[in-house]
Structure 1
Amino acid sequence: MFDELKKYKNTGAFNFKTSESLKEKCNAPIDKGGVYLIYKIVGDKEVLIYIGSSGQRNKDGTLKIRKGGMKDRLVNGYHPHRFGEIKRIKRHEAFPQQMQAANITELKFYWWVTYDDINSDFPTDVEAKLSKKYFEKFQKHPEWHKF
């Protein structure tokens, strides 16, 4: 669905189950920014539930990379959808809780570095493009988005 991601060569993926450590499973870079897609595994299908990014545009037009990079965003970032929680909880805690509540046994994470020596696409711009494309196709946002 997202053919525009094919141009990014620095990419990876990993699966995650509630019995595992997200910090240990996550293989996203600690010094780069980019976009990521999170899918729930339903039988033998992957269903997209979240589109996200790590890295922001500085005022001088350069990329500001979060300390710990994309990995830290995925593991320790606060998810915008609080899954019914009042307080903000980090993803390594929130994801397993929500997976159990929603009867999801496994997630699949895909990530792409969008700003490096080869590409200079700001992660937030790429995320917006992917979110728009998804919305135009399905007339809704992925289920873990909160708008």
Structure 2
Amino acid sequence: MPRILAIDYGQKRTGIAVTDELQIIASGLTTIPSETVLAFLKDYFQKEEVIKVLIGEPKQMNGEPSQSAPMIEAFVLTFKTNFPDMQVVRVDERFTSKMAFQTMIDSGLKKKQRQNKALIDEISATIMLRDYLSRKMF
């Protein structure tokens, strides 16, 4: 069965998470500089079968698009141009960074380790993917 991949796209860094082949477990894959994301994905898609890509949709508390929405919309258009056959699902990414930080605290990471913003981005993508999988199961 093909994998599902989640992207937490940011101005500087992009966190990426992926499912196992049975689409049961969400795991952090990596965090990469955002300017390299398309090249990374092209290489990854050649090596692994991916059926669907989740891309975070940044919203404010009231449901309106956040300040970063135009940047992410531009990325989504570029992604669809480069990978026209890939199914794209937009998912709400509100609170994922806060949840990622709390996950780091709960797992016992020291303060210096919790300052690793790349790890926060990767965990955020994993949270988006895990939440999507839990909704898909029901």
TM-score by length of 1: 0.26
TM-score by length of 2: 0.27
In terms of fraction of residues, the more helix-rich structure is 2
